A and B are shown apart, each in its own frame.
Chain A
């Protein structure tokens, strides 16, 4: 199967990931999770890392070492802070809705691994995305999705600017308004405490590669 690398550089920005307009105008097709799995079964995702957000399938770029390293560092820090009673997953699906199945870099959910035998977690006390090439996406599409699903604690490890962005107080009622009311930026000399573990202190420098 041929893989197309480059978009026509001057392609009119018609769709640009826009979700469907309600007045019957053309839009990118949107899928349900069932259809998404059928496409997977056809082998059409072979060699690609994908997520389903608002019914649109997004392709992630291949993972680079700094990104992978940061994920491991975050995991180790969180594992030490969240003991038994929390399941911590990296790059695994979350079931938010019939059209939303993102794969956050790190997800901390209440429960044990056995609780998710039959189905993916539907929520988390903390989600973390490590951003190297995906910053815009993590701050926009993913941020809205997580705010919509009332994820109380959402962090972006911004590798390029070497800072941790902390988003709290999810709010909003529709796609235009989903957002986080509280946004903090922490530098390499600072520390952060997960909302679910307010006494724990994690140094930002310990999660940057």
Chain B
């Protein structure tokens, strides 16, 4: 039997005093992409439209006709404008890291379809969100993750106000985090050109459903 003196007592960490206790508020659980895809596989998102954004699973209302139409119009338009060496994706995943796996309504990426057979693209030349019920989300959380990932050209088709909001020049503000410093609103009578296709003039009225 071992005598007590020969037993080595390692120091036990002392719990913090009450005053030093960190103010870690109880938070909604955060998920990573691994967990998110496991839940999807398990069928937990059946019948729901969801995206993983900054660790939170966001649920959106089912799309209505104007939204669907808006997405399809853009899909066709951009295919024409960008041509062969680009791939126009609609509601397909953009891999923005372990916390964010958004599915932008329209994204334009270099290359062709098969380039992304094995993995989702991690950036895009242009992203467009068609906003019916999601305007606040698209202007805040989505703008934030797209800016943080230096998506240079981000448009929001504002169905309710019938205009297009163009966000450019992403940068990191010391107080606000990642934002777009340039925001332009273009109305029905005007035209827009993607940064990657500056010569293509697309009428806003041709984009709006």
Binding site for B on A (CB under 8 A): 1-4, 7-12, 14-15, 17, 20, 23-31, 35, 38-39, 42, 44, 48, 50, 56-61, 64-66, 132-134, 136-137, 141, 159-160, 209
Q: Please indicate the chain A residues that have their CB under 8 angstroms from the CB of B144 in the complex.
A: 8, 10-12
Query: Min CB distance, B139 to chain A, in Å?
Result: 9
Q: List the B side residues contacting A15 at CB < 8 Å.
A: 28, 56, 58, 141
Shortest distance from the beta carbon of B194 to any chain A beta carbon, whole Å: 26
The answer on a CB contact under 8 Å between B140 and A2 is no
Question: Are A57 and B21 in contact, with the CB atoms below 8 A?
Answer: no
For residue B137, CB closer than 8 A to chain A, the reply is yes
Listed stretches B75-83, B120-128, B163-171, B175-183; interface member = B175-183
A26 CB contacts on chain B under 8 angstroms: 58-61, 133-134, 136-137
Using A8-B54, A42-B42 as known contacts, say yes or no to A2 and B32 having CB atoms under 8 A apart: yes
Q: How far is the CA of A191 from the CA of B37 in the complex (A)?
A: 52
Given contacts A24-B133, A26-B137, A42-B42, contact A64 B21 (CB under 8 A): yes
Contact (A64, B25) CB under 8 Å given A7-B54, A9-B177, A42-B39: no
Size bracket of the B interface:
35 or more
Contact partners of A134 in chain B: CB under 8 A: 25-26
Closest A residue, CB atoms, query B34: A1
**Are B136 and A28 touching (Cβ within 8 A)?**
no
| Cα–Cα, bound, A137→B31 (Å) | 20
Main secondary structure of the interface of A (DSSP, over half): loop
Enumerate chain B residues within 8 angstroms of A28, measured Cβ to Cβ.
Answer: 28, 56-59
Q: In the complex, what distance in Å separates the CA atom of A14 from the CA atom of B133?
A: 14
Nearest neighbor of B51 in chain A, beta-carbon distance: A26
Instruction: How many A-B residue pairs have C-beta atoms within 8 angstroms? Tell me.
Output: 137
Cα A4 to Cα B31 in complex, Å, equals 8
Question: Do A35 and B55 have beta carbons less than 8 Å apart?
Answer: no
- Distance to closest chain B CB from A56 (angstroms): 6
Residues of A within 8 A of B26 (CB): 58-61, 133-134, 136-137, 141
Taking the nearest CB of chain B, how far is it from the CB of A25, in angstroms? 6
Complex Cα spacing A122 to B164, Å? 51
Stretch at the interface among B11-19, B86-94, B107-115, B197-205: B11-19
Cα(A77)–Cα(B175), bound, Å:
48
In the bound complex, residues from chain B placing their C-beta under 8 Å from that of A61 are: 22, 24, 26
Residues of B within 8 A of A23 (CB): 133
List 28 A-B pairs, Cβ < 8 Å.
A2-B98, A3-B32, A4-B98, A4-B99, A7-B30, A7-B55, A10-B177, A11-B177, A12-B144, A17-B28, A26-B60, A27-B59, A38-B42, A39-B44, A42-B39, A48-B29, A58-B26, A59-B29, A60-B26, A64-B15, A64-B21, A133-B24, A134-B26, A136-B25, A141-B26, A159-B18, A159-B21, A209-B18
Q: Does B10 contact A (CB under 8 A)?
A: no
Decide: A137 near B57, CB < 8 A? Known: A12-B140, A14-B136, A38-B44: no
- Most A CB contacts (10 A, CB to CB) among B30, B32, B57, B133 go to B30
**Option from B22, B34, B134 in Cβ contact (under 8 Å) with A133:** B22
- List the A side residues contacting B28 at CB < 8 Å: 15, 17, 28, 56-59
Query: Which residue of chain A is the closest to B59 with respect to CB atoms?
Result: A29
Q: Which residues of B sit under 8 angstroms from A17, Cβ to Cβ? A: 27-28
A7-B100 Cα distance, complex, nearest whole Å: 12
Q: List the 9 closest pairs (A to B, CB-CB), nearest first.
A: A10-B177, A65-B15, A24-B61, A12-B140, A137-B26, A29-B57, A61-B24, A57-B29, A29-B59
